[in-house]
Amino acid sequence: MLFGGALPDPKIEQWYSHAWGGMFPGDDFINIVKHIANGMGVKELFETVEKECANGYKSLPMNLVVADNQGDIGYWMLASFPNRKDKTPFIGNRVLNGETTAYDWDGLVPAAELPKSLNPDKGYIETANNRQMPDNVIDDIGATHMSTGRSQRIDEMISGWIKEGHKITVEDM
């Protein structure tokens, strides 16, 4: 069963159920770390994670930001995100009727459908807990996130330095 059990309160005629993406058996995080530790390049890492997590990423959520010595950079928001039968926008942000199976999960969103970026045209990746998905996504991924002033300022600074021809250093970061 992919959802938590409902527990009745004998005094109240209401039921609830609870599920959390981290409750699934197996842990993909360790394998991903092993691939990185073994020197897997960004493109190969992305292909491998996509295959290994075709039925959803199962572990603690993380912003995977990687670079390799071949000049590739990548970002992937890996999280155990429920794939719901009902695709009503922003449904994951509501308390739902637990007396029906209409809102149940039918697994996890495949890793390939989670927000990611590989070698973006702008030449860099900036992430500061800001929204990574467009407003018209099929699932609720990032529905409650918005671009933050911090992320906007980081983007403004980096793009400005690039326009000026400034070589960005560790100290700049």
Contact 133, 113 (CB under 8 A): no
Highest mean pLDDT among 19-23, 58-62, 126-130: 58-62
Question: Which element (helix H / strand E) includes 44?
Answer: helix 42-52
- Structural domains in the chain, CATH included, are 21-164 (3.60.20.10)
Q: How confident is the model at residue 48 (pLDDT cuts 50, 70, 90)?
A: very high
d(C-alpha 129, C-alpha 151), whole Å? 8
Q: What is the mean pLDDT of the chain?
A: 82
Instruction: Supply the pLDDT for residue 7.
Output: 55
d(C-alpha 171, C-alpha 168), whole Å? 8
Q: How confident is the model at residue 111 (pLDDT cuts 50, 70, 90)?
A: very high
Q: Residue type for 75, please? A: Y
Q: What is the pTM for the complete model shown?
A: 0.76
Locate 33 and state its tokens: 């770390």
Instruction: Supply the pLDDT for residue 83.
Output: 83
